Each structure stands twice: as C-alpha cells, then as structure tokens.
C-alpha cells in the first residue's frame, strides 16, 4: 500500500513540474501595482498611526492637567467641605405673614443646599429689640451668625469689629456674584451697604421708598392735567388745593388742602435728593447741611408753610388724604395698604390716587430708598462662609419673589420683576411704585446716622417755626451738632 502511494506522488510531482516549465513569464506591470498598493497602504497606516498617537497624547495631557488643578474649591479661604454640618443662627424681626414667608425660604435652603448648611431662624421682635439684644450678645459672646438690620446699625457694629466685611465674599471667584449678577442689583441699594472706608457691611435684602401720595382726580378738577414736573409746579398745585378748601363753604377744612408737612429726616432727604444733594460733604465722610441745595429745600418748606400751602397733622395723614384735606402727603410706599383702608372708611372720596416722585427745581426726580440689609457677624471662618451662602440664596431672584409677594416690599434685584407677573397684575399701585425705585437714593450709612437723622428732623421743625432769615443759622447749628454726634462714635 505504501509502495503504490509513493509511485502516485512521484507521478503528480513530475506532472506539476512540466506545467510550471510551460507557464509564460509574468509581466512587470502587475508587480508595480502591487508595490504601489503596498506603499499606499503603508503610508496611510503610518499617518493614521501618527494621528492616533497624537490624539492619545492630547487626552493624556488634559487628564494630567485636570488632576493637577483638581484642588478642593473654597470660598474666602474656607474649603467647601468644611461647611458640611455647619449650623448658623439668623436673627430677624418679622412676624405673621413675613415670618411665615421667611421660614419657608429657610426651609427650602436647608433642604436643597448641597453644602450641608443649616439655618436656624430666631425672631428678636422689632429692630430696636434686635439691636439691644445684639449689643448684649456682643458682651456675652453668644452672637448669631447673620442678622437683618439698617445699614447705619451694621456700620456701627462694624466699627467695633462685630461685623464682617462682605466685599471678599461678594467678589469671591467661587462663592461670589458674577458680573451679570452684580449688574442685576439696583446700584443704589448695593451702594447703601458700603461705608466710606470701602467696606461692604451689608447686602441689600429688600426695600421700600418714600414717595409723594398724589390725588390725581382732585388735581384734575383743580385744572392740573398732569402731576407736577418740578418744584415750582409742585408748590403751585399744593397752594391751589389749599386755596380751594379755604374758598369753599366748609369751615372744617380751612387751613388744609395742600401738603401734609412732617419734618422727618426721610422727608427732608427725599427733597434733598431731588435737589441733587445727599447731606454729605465732597469727601463723602462728613456731613454738610449748609449747601445751596439744603438752603433751597428749607426755603421751599418755609414758604409753603407760611403761605398756608402746607400744614401738620397729629397722626398719620391717611384720613386727610382720603377726604380731600390734602392733595399731597409724604409717606412710605409700604403704607399703601393703610391708605387704601382709609379710602374705604365712611366719608372718604372715591378719588383716583397714585404715587409720584419728589421733584427738583430742574425736574430731577428722586425718592428716599429704605433698605433692609443682611450682615454677617464676625464669628468663625466656616460660619461666615456658610452665612454668605444663605445671603446669596436669599437675594436670588427666585427667593426674592417669594419674599416680595409676602412682604409687599420691593426687590433689590431687577430680574425679580419677571417672576412677579401675577402679583403685579393684582397690585397695580405696587407696580406703579416699582417704576419709581430707579430714582431711589440711600440715606447716609455712617454709624452716627441714627443720632444725626433725629437732629435733622429737629432742625427742619425749627425752620418751620422760625423766621425765613433764620434758615442759614439753623443749618449751621445742625452742621455743628452733626459733627459732634459723629465724633462721639469715632
């Protein structure tokens, strides 16, 4: 069997050799094509391999950079991980609906912030109660982490190192505001939290404005189609209303009709702002009540008083405004609710009334903006950083919308209005006042202002009771008093 197989294999081998010998020689062209194809493939492969290597190297380099920069984020030197579990006490002054809305904001922050911060709200009563309690807490050391207050009170506490400067937090690249967010704040509100040294003692929370209440229906009947556009027109309308009441057959309204005059600092400064002044010297750090603008405002008041175009009331002038005993009153926009109630009382008119700004001699417009400010107490770095994150949350447009709907104040963020469409439709007078916020100016925030503003009111009351030629002397005395009061807190 093996021998037969060997013979067959030999035959097959011999036959194949014959076929090979008979086959023609191969032409060169196919060989060239094969070589060219090989070269193309090889070149493509080399290029692709090089690109792949470069792509891999780029990915690896990015990953290495990320690893180098992967440092724990921090705000004003405090790593965010250190905020986990931090509890901060917030002292506030709100009751009823305002407190309910505030507690809802606190609860939402506690449930949604991913830093592990917990806010504990503690009601202190009114502003004076909070200030007394905080002064006592400074002595005992048992202080909150954050509180609400007026800017001059925060400035006073900052002067004794009880409050933190918020400027580093405000501009922090991790926890601070972006340029777009900063621009969304009303600038006058922001400026009210910055003292002369440049320290930011407070972040604005909400605001109301001191405005003129204006009886539009009665003014039109008196022949005035439009609200006054300057101080001269204002005086003309007030005097016309006073003359109308004096001329009618109702003796009970004699001596009324124009402007209800109350010599409070908020009213004084509303006019000062409209006249282009702010009660401060050019250095922005000292008071000056002897300027031409201050003299002009005092003169306007005295002339209207002497001519019977302005008169006083013993209490809030809501009834007088609702019964055509006053064409104008000066009041906070927050008092609109009480004025509306006065128009619902027996004997009130159904006149249309509105808010208008104070006007200067050249048509300048202004209102005095009352700001509520949030301050951070000088405690531990972690508590201060945690407090900042809550302040930032509370002043966000969304939280502001919640707060405004419950409080009736005005937001400190322009974009909040976009979230209050239904509220604006339901509260048209609030919407009118909102348009005046742009004319807002903040009163001085010096630590001495609480005392000085009382002196301002006293001086302008003296202006009304004195002689016209005494104005310069009265204002010079006010300057001296203000300087003494400022020196007491320095």
User: Does residue 240 share a domain with residue 342?
Assistant: yes
Q: Please report which helix (H) or strand (E) contains residue 112, including its range.
A: helix 96-112
Could you give the CA distance from residue 213 to residue 318 in angstroms, rounded to a whole number? 10
Could you give the CA distance from residue 270 to residue 209 in angstroms, rounded to a whole number? 9
pLDDT, the chain, mean: 89
Q: How confident is the model at residue 148 (pLDDT cuts 50, 70, 90)?
A: very high
Beta strands in 194-316 (DSSP E): 203-215, 257-260, 310-311
Classify burial at 485, counting beta carbons within 10 Å of its beta carbon; exposed 0-12, middle 13-18, buried 19 or more.
buried
Q: Which residues of 365-387 are buried (b: 16+ CB within 10 A; e: fewer)?
A: bbbbbbbbbbbbbbbeebbbbbb
**283 has pLDDT over 70:** yes
User: Does residue 257 share a domain with residue 328?
Assistant: yes
> How does pLDDT run across 180-194, given as a tens digit for each residue?
999 999 999 999 999
**Residues with Cβ < 8 Å from 262, sequence gap 6 or more?**
312, 313, 317, 330
Strand partners, 146: 90, 376
pLDDT for residue 69: 61
More confident residue, 118 or 72: 118
Mean pLDDT over 212-220 rounds to 99
pLDDT for residue 490: 78
Could you give the CA distance from residue 174 to residue 77 in angstroms, rounded to a whole number? 10
Min mean pLDDT across 43-52, 304-313, 317-326, 384-393 is at 43-52
pLDDT for residue 64: 56
Quick one: residue 374, left, alpha or beta (phi over 0 = left, psi -120 to 50 = alpha)? beta
Mean pLDDT over 73-102 rounds to 96
Residue 39 lies in a domain: no
More confident residue, 38 or 336: 336
pLDDT for residue 52: 44
User: Does residue 302 share a domain with residue 418?
Assistant: no
Residue 51 lies in a domain: no
**310 has pLDDT over 70:** yes
Residue 34 lies in a domain: no
User: Does residue 344 share a domain with residue 310?
Assistant: yes
**8 A C-beta contact, residue 258 and residue 250:** no
CA-to-CA dists, residue 457 to 60, 212, 368, angstroms: 72, 18, 15
Nearest by Cα to 328 from 252, 269, 408, 242:
242
* pTM for this entry: 0.79
By residue range, what is the domain housing residue 125?
75-208+370-441
Number of domains in the chain: 2
Count CA within 13 A, CB hemisphere, residue 462: 16
Residue 7 lies in a domain: no
Q: Which of 441, 463, 479 is the last residue of a domain?
A: 441
Could you give the CA distance from residue 164 to residue 297 in angstroms, rounded to a whole number? 37
SS3 395: coil
Which range in 28-37, 390-399, 405-414 is most confidently predicted, on average pLDDT? 390-399
> How does pLDDT run across 341-352, given as a tens digit for each residue?
999 999 999 999
Residue 49 lies in a domain: no
Q: Which residues of 437-450 are buried (b: 16+ CB within 10 A; e: fewer)?
A: bebbbbbbbbbbbb
User: Does residue 233 share a domain with residue 168?
Assistant: no
**18 has pLDDT over 80:** no
User: Does residue 235 share a domain with residue 202?
Assistant: no
Q: Express the helix, strand and coil content of the chain in percent, nearest 5 each.
A: 55, 15, 30
**8 A C-beta contact, residue 190 and residue 207:** no
> How does pLDDT run across 36-73, given as a tens digit for each residue?
433 333 443 433 444 444 444 444 555 555 555 678 89
pLDDT for residue 342: 97
SS3 374: strand
DSSP 417: G
User: Does residue 386 share a domain with residue 361?
Assistant: no
Could you give the CA distance from residue 452 to residue 82 in angstroms, rounded to a whole number? 43
User: Does residue 374 share a domain with residue 345?
Assistant: no
User: Does residue 112 share a domain with residue 216?
Assistant: no
Q: How confident is the model at residue 284 (pLDDT cuts 50, 70, 90)?
A: confident
**8 A C-beta contact, residue 333 and residue 410:** yes
pLDDT for residue 489: 87
> How does pLDDT run across 426-438, given as a tens digit for each residue?
999 999 999 999 9
Strand partners, 358: 366
How many other C-beta atoms can be found within 10 angstroms of the C-beta atom of residue 436? 21
Could you give the CA distance from residue 146 to residue 88 in angstroms, rounded to a whole number? 7
pLDDT for residue 449: 94
Residue 65 lies in a domain: no
Q: What is the CATH number of the domain that holds 134?
A: 3.40.190.10
Residue 10 lies in a domain: no
User: Does residue 329 share a domain with residue 203?
Assistant: no
pLDDT for residue 54: 46
Could you give the CA distance from residue 36 to residue 28 in angstroms, rounded to a whole number? 12
Could you give the CA distance from residue 153 to residue 224 in angstroms, rounded to a whole number? 43
User: Does residue 224 share a domain with residue 116?
Assistant: no
How many other C-beta atoms can be found within 10 angstroms of the C-beta atom of residue 197? 11
Min mean pLDDT across 18-22, 145-149, 230-234, 379-383 is at 18-22
Instruction: Name residue, tokens 């027996």.
Output: 346
Nearest by Cα to 245 from 224, 211, 221:
221
Residue 227 lies in a domain: yes
**8 A C-beta contact, residue 433 and residue 410:** yes
Q: How confident is the model at residue 378 (pLDDT cuts 50, 70, 90)?
A: very high
**8 A C-beta contact, residue 256 and residue 242:** yes
Could you give the CA distance from residue 103 to residue 253 in angstroms, rounded to a whole number? 47
User: Does residue 215 share a domain with residue 271?
Assistant: yes
How many other C-beta atoms can be found within 10 angstroms of the C-beta atom of residue 338? 12
Which ranges in 275-348 belong to alpha helices (H)?
A: 292-306, 318-322, 336-343
Mean pLDDT over 215-229 rounds to 98
pLDDT for residue 133: 98
**114 has pLDDT over 50:** yes
pLDDT for residue 350: 96
């Amino acid at each position: 069997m093996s021998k037969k197989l060997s013979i067959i294999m030999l035959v097959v081998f011999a036959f194949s050799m014959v076929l090979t010998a008979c086959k023609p020689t191969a032409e060169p062209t196919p060989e060239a094509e094969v070589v060219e194809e090989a070269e193309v493939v090889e070149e493509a492969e080399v290029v692709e391999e090089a690109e792949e290597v470069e792509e891999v190297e780029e990915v690896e380099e990015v990953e290495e950079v990320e690893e180098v920069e992967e440092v724990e984020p921090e705000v004003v030197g405090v790593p965010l991980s250190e905020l986990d579990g931090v509890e901060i006490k917030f002292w506030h002054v709100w009751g009823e609906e305002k407190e309910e809305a505030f507690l809802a904001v606190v609860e939402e922050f506690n449930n949604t912030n991913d830093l592990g911060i917990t806010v504990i709200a503690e009601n202190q009563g009114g502003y004076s109660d909070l200030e007394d309690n905080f002064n006592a807490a400074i002595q005992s050391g048992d202080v909150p982490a954050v509180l609400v207050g007026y800017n001059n009170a925060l400035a006073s506490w900052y002067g004794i190192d009880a409050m933190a400067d918020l400027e580093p937090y405000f501009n922090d690249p991790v926890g601070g505001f972006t340029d777009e967010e900063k621009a969304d704040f009303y600038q006058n509100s922001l400026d009210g939290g910055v003292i002369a040294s440049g320290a930011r003692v407070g972040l604005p929370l909400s605001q109301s404005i001191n405005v003129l209440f204006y009886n539009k229906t009665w003014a039109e009947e008196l022949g005035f189609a439009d609200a006054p556009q300057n101080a001269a027109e204002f005086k003309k309308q007030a005097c016309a209303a006073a003359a109308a009441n004096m001329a009618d057959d109702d003796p009970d309204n004699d001596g009324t009709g124009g402007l209800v005059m109350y010599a409070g600092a908020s009213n004084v400064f509303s006019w000062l702002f409209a006249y282009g002044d702010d009660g401060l010297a050019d250095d922005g750090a000292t008071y000056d009540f002897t300027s031409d603008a201050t003299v002009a405002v005092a003169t306007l008041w005295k002339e209207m008083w002497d001519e019977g175009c302005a008169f006083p009331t013993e209490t809030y002038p809501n009834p007088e405004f609702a019964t055509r005993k006053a064409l104008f009153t000066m009041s906070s926009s927050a008092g609109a609710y009480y004025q509306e109630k006065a128009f619902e009382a027996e004997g009130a008119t159904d006149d249309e009334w509105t808010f208008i700004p104070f006007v200067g001699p050249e048509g300048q417009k202004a209102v005095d903006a009352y700001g509520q400010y949030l301050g951070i107490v000088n405690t531990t770095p972690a508590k201060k950083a945690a407090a900042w994150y809550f302040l930032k949350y509370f002043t966000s447009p969304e939280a502001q919308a919640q707060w405004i709907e419950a409080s009736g104040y005005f937001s400190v963020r322009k974009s909040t209005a976009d979230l209050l469409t239904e509220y604006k439709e339901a509260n048209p007078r609030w919407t009118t006042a909102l348009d005046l916020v742009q004319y807002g100016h903040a009163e001085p925030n010096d630590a001495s202002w609480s005392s000085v503003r009382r002196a301002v009111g006293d001086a302008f009351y003296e202006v009304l009771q004195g002689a016209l030629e005494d104005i310069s002397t009265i204002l010079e005395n006010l300057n001296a008093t203000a300087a003494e009061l400022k020196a007491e807190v320095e």
